[in-house]
Every structure is written in structure tokens, then in C-alpha cells.
Amino acid sequence: MTSINWISRAESATFSVLNIIDGQRSPAKQGQVLVKNSNRTGDFIYEFGGGDQRDVEAAIAAARRAFNCGCWRDKSVHERKVILNKLADLIETNSEELALYECIDVGKPIANAQGDIALAASIIRDTAHAGDKLAGASIFDGGVHSFQLHKPLGVVGAIVGWNFPLVLAAHKVGAALITGNSLVLKPSEFTPLSAWRMAELGLEAGIPDGVFNVINGTGAIIGDAIALHDEVDMVAFTGSSATGKRLMNSAGMSNMKRLQLECGGKSPYLVFDDYDGDLEVLAADIVQTAFPNQGAVCSSSTRLLIQSKIYDEILPLIIKQTEAINPADPLLLDTTFGAIINEDHLQKVLGFHEIAVSEGATPLVPGGRVLEGTGGYYLKPALYTNVRSTSPVAREEIFGPLATIFSFESEDEAIVLANDTNFGLAAYAATSDAGRVSRLARRLNAGSIIILSSLFSTPGGVSFGVEPHKQSGLGFEGGLDGLKGYTVTSSVMAMFEG
Ligand code: NAD
């Protein structure tokens, strides 16, 4: 098998950004011109129209018509599942094109982008298969049949961020469509290439016109208009907590639309001295969990909390593994750490370096900008210690490759430190004490808790839907709980004679 030369493929490709409204490809209506520069070289790659209120009105009207006509909502779950499975198949068939888009837009390594496309297809498939498991309670009592009916809400507006464009969208698309809703999806203005292509593949799979619409543009114009629209019954969102709060405001100011908000994080990784596994392997896990996707993962563990007795032993391993990460061209197949999405985001991350240094923190691994000669946006990961617990470096989501290390003496102290944040998305721990596992599970404020005992297991486990805690959002993503969020329930009492 010949391996693909992704650089020449990218250089010969043309990139377009379109809206899909009522089954038609259409350019955005006027609005500002949004420009994309390559995160590998800084050069211009494409531009597109940012759209305006007319795109929003057209897309929402199309979604409402499609919902009201019953062409999707009244299909059986089985029929919807068959079509969504076809969409998953088509995503896989077109995976090279879609992976190139994700790599170009985000700056993530092409190998990881290929993994994202496979994941997006499997999310659509898994969600479609869960559709017929969403059963309500039912009881027959004294001639009355009481039952709960989970019904589609109507029009769902999905607004998603940039770090995993197709994967984040796939969660919303799968859940909204298998439950019978119509959808208006707005991808991030920084990563628009894959979303409209997915909607186009949806049409090819047999999703009726108007059921799955995509509109492009900024959050301030297009996102805000979706969030304030009275004909949108739910906003399903993945992005920052600041935007999540704005959406709560918009929902309250308009039609009290349902909200599902998957927002930011500042997750801790607790390492206890009772851990009896291989520390080299553990250090590798700590570093990978802190800096996946160039540090742009909501659940990355950017606060490392290490028990004092094990600190001196594991710290050099963590430092060595962090220093070994070398950013490289995302289009090369052996790259494992790519580019930062754009210059603004790179500068934002460097701003946290400046704060850390100005506050007297100690850089264990200085990190910082590299490969400037390429014109691209590359950052080596950084590790700081002696960071004040009140510092923005310790408290705010950086969403880039910068982590902080603290030490602790006791389990109680570790839990207080771990929970000392406004976020509650994920928490990680390494311990070989079963009692401690149970106490951590109960006391850590996080929607997703991952605990390693002495051995790393083979891939497995069942992943339930995850409910963010605190300012990491509200409502489940994934699982049957997640699907239920895309429905509204009627409690029915049907009386029978005799
Ligand atoms: P963001 O909040 O800036 O943007 C997310 C989306 O919201 C974009 O499409 C944007 O255009 C839109 N938007 C922005 N302002 C808006 C407004 N006023 N009204 C309506 N829409 C608006 O976030 P981002 O920088 O794109 O993504 C990074 C954030 O996403 C991080 O905080 C990260 O933790 C979070 N995230 C969370 C999860 C999760 O599952 N919890 C997963 C991935 C990313």
C-alpha cells in the first residue's frame, strides 16, 4: 500500500465553505469575510462569507417545515437508524477528504485527524443504535394505561467549537436526528470545512431536505441569532463556559429553549504514593492526558497533583516525557504533536506563560514558541510549579500545552486542591488502594472520573453519558441520558372501559 503524500494533496486541494439549507448548497448571504490562514505556514488558504440573519432565518424555517411535515419525525426509529448508519458509512468512505479538512483547519496531526473521522462515524452509528432503547415507563393499573412518551423537541440548534470539529458535531447530529428532530448546525468559524460536507453526505444517505442544515459564521452573529430564535426549541452546545453562560441568557431572553451545554475544564490528575504500577508508564499517561491535541482538549489534565513521598521519583519522568514532545508539520504522517489553531490562540497561551513568569512560578519545562521560520504556529509544551493557587494560570482554562504541578501530603488535601476550581468536567487519579478509589469517586467533583490502579487494562469498559459538573456545563452528552435530553416527555393516562 502506498502512503499518501498529504502535503501535496493539501497543496493541490481547493477548499470551499458553503451552507446547506433545505437540501441545497448555498454561499453565505453577505456578512463579513472570514479568512483562514494555514497553521503550518501562516499563509492564506481560503476565505468565506460570514453570513447574516437571513441565513439563520432560512435555515431555521427549513428545519421547522421539515419537522412539521413529518418526513423525518414520523419515520420509525428503525428507518432513521438505517439512514444514519448510511451516513456513518459515507463518512468512512470519504474519510481521507474529511481528515484533510480537520488537519488543515485545526492543525492536528493527520494521523489523529484520521482517528477523529473514524470516531465521528462510530458516534453516529452508536447513537443511531441507541435510538430504540429510549423507552419510557409504562404501567397498567385499574383499567388505566399510564405511560411516558419521549417525543422530539422540534428544531435543535447545534453550536460547536473547534478542537474536534466533526466529532463534536457528530454527537449532536446523531442524538438530534435519531430522536426525530430537525437540526441547524453551526460549526466554529475557525473550522468550517467538515460540517457542511457531513450534511451533504447526510443528503446522499437519505436524510430529507431541511432536516439537517448547516450555516457558517461567527458566534457573535450567527450563533447568537440561533440562540435567541423563538423557533429553536433546543440549543445543544460544545464550547467555552463563557459562551455557555451567554446561551443561558439568550434562552431566558427568548423562548426558554432547552439547553445542553458541554463547556470548559481544568481537570486534575492526582498521583498517590500507594500506586504500585510502573512509574515510567504512569508518567507517559500523565503527559499524554495533559497535552493531547496540542493541549486543546476540554478534559485534558492540566493540574497535576502529586503526593510528596512520590514527587521526587516521578517528577523527572514527567519532565523527560514532556521535553520529548516536539511539534512538527501536521501533514506529516509521523507527527504526533501538531500546530496551534491560529496566531491569536497561540498568543493567548503565551500570555499565560507571561503571567506565570511574572508571578514567580518556576518553569520545570519552559516550552514556548518553536519552528517560527515556518511561519506556522507551533508551541512546545510547558510545565510550571510554584504557581499560586489564586493565579489565572492555576484557575483558568488555557486550552493549550501548559500544565501546572502541585504537591500534597494527604488524601483530604488532594481532594480539596482537586475540587478548588469552577470547573467539574473530568478528574484522573493513580492509586492502588481500593478504599481510596471509592472515596475519590464519591468526593471528586467531576462528570468523568478515570482511576488507574496498578495495571493499565486493555481497551474496554463501557462509557456512559457524561454530565458535566459546576461551570463545565449542564445536561448529558452521550448514552441514553444524552438522548433523552433531545426529547420532551408526555405522561399519558389512557382510560379503558371495563
Ligand atoms: P467558544 O465558546 O468560543 O465557541 C464555541 C462555539 O460557540 C463556536 O461555534 C462559536 O462561534 C460559538 N459562539 C461564540 N460566541 C457565541 C455567542 N455569543 N452566541 C452563540 N454562539 C457563540 O469555544 P471554542 O474556543 O470554539 O472551543 C473551546 C472550548 O470548548 C473550550 O472551553 C473547551 O473546553 C470546550 N470544549 C468542551 C467540550 C466538552 O465536551 N465539554 C468538548 C470540546 C471543547
Give the residue among 322, 333, 400, 405 at the shortest CA–CA distance from 362: 405
Please name the residues in contact with 457: beta carbons below 8 A apart, sequence gap of 6 or more.
Answer: none
For ligand 1, atom 23, which residue shows the shortest CA distance?
239
Q: Is the CB of 216 under 6 A from ligand 1?
A: no
Cβ atoms of residues 286 and 304 within 8 Å: yes
Per-residue pLDDT, 464 = 85
Q: Is the CB of 342 under 6 A from ligand 1?
A: no
Q: How far is the CA of 137 from the centre of ligand 1 (A)?
A: 35
Per-residue pLDDT, 457 = 64
Cβ atoms of residues 410 and 319 within 8 Å: no
Q: How far is the CA of 276 from the centre of ligand 1 (A)?
A: 39
Q: How far is the CA of 448 from the centre of ligand 1 (A)?
A: 19
Please name the residues in contact with 135: beta carbons below 8 A apart, sequence gap of 6 or more.
Answer: none
* The three-state (H, E, C) secondary structure of the chain, written as one string: CCCCCHHHHHHHCCCCCCEEECCEEECCCCCCEEEEECCCCCCEEEEEECCCHHHHHHHHHHHHHHHHHCCCCCCCHHHHHHHHHHHHHHHHHCHHHHHHHHHHHHCCCHHHHHHHHHHHHHHHHHHHHHHHHCCCCEEEECCEEEEEEEEECCEEEEEECCCCHHHHHHHHHHHHHHCCCEEEEECCCCCCHHHHHHHHHHHHHCCCCCCEEECCCCHHHHHHHHHHCCCCCEEEEECCHHHHHHHHHHHHHCCCCEEEEECCCCCEEEECCCCCCCHHHHHHHHHHHHCHHHHCCCCCCCEEEEEHHHHHHHHHHHHHHHHCCCCCCCCCCCCCCCCCCCHHHHHHHHHHHHHHHHCCCEEEECCEEECHHHCCCEEECEEEECCCCCCHHHHCCCCCCEEEEEEECCHHHHHHHHHCCCEECEEEEECCCHHHHHHHHHHCCCCEEEEECCCCCCCCCCCCCECCEECCEECCECHHHHHHCCEEEEEEEEECCC
**Grid coordinates given for 383:** 510545565
Per-residue pLDDT, 3 = 87
262 in catalytic set: yes
Q: Is the CB of 222 under 6 A from ligand 1?
A: no
**Grid coordinates given for 387:** 504557581
For ligand 1, atom 14, which residue shows the shortest CA distance?
219
Per-residue pLDDT, 28 = 85
Per-residue pLDDT, 298 = 97
Cβ atoms of residues 340 and 378 within 8 Å: yes
Q: Is the CB of 161 under 6 A from ligand 1?
A: yes
pLDDT mean for each 10 residues of the chain (498 residues): 87 95 91 94 96 96 98 98 98 98 98 98 97 93 93 98 98 98 98 98 98 98 98 98 98 98 98 96 96 98 98 98 98 98 98 98 98 98 96 97 98 98 97 96 97 72 87 96 97 85
298 in catalytic set: yes
Per-residue pLDDT, 117 = 98
Q: Is the CB of 159 under 6 A from ligand 1?
A: yes
For ligand 1, atom 24, which residue shows the shortest CA distance?
161
Among candidate residues 102, 231, 262, 477, the one labeled active-site is 262
- As beta bridge partners, residue 477 has 466
Per-residue pLDDT, 455 = 65
Please name the residues in contact with 283: beta carbons below 8 A apart, sequence gap of 6 or more.
Answer: 314, 317, 318, 320, 321
Please name the residues in contact with 248: beta carbons below 8 A apart, sequence gap of 6 or more.
Answer: 259, 261
**Grid coordinates given for 439:** 472515596
Ligand 1 pocket: which of 34, 55, 116, 163 to mutate (most atoms within 8 A of CB): 163
CA distance 103 to 432: 38
Give the residue among 170, 69, 80, 62 at the shortest CA–CA distance from 132: 80
Give the residue among 358, 362, 403, 404 at the shortest CA–CA distance from 379: 403
For ligand 1, atom 20, which residue shows the shortest CA distance?
223
Q: Is the CB of 239 under 6 A from ligand 1?
A: yes
Kindly report the pTM of this predicted structure: 0.97
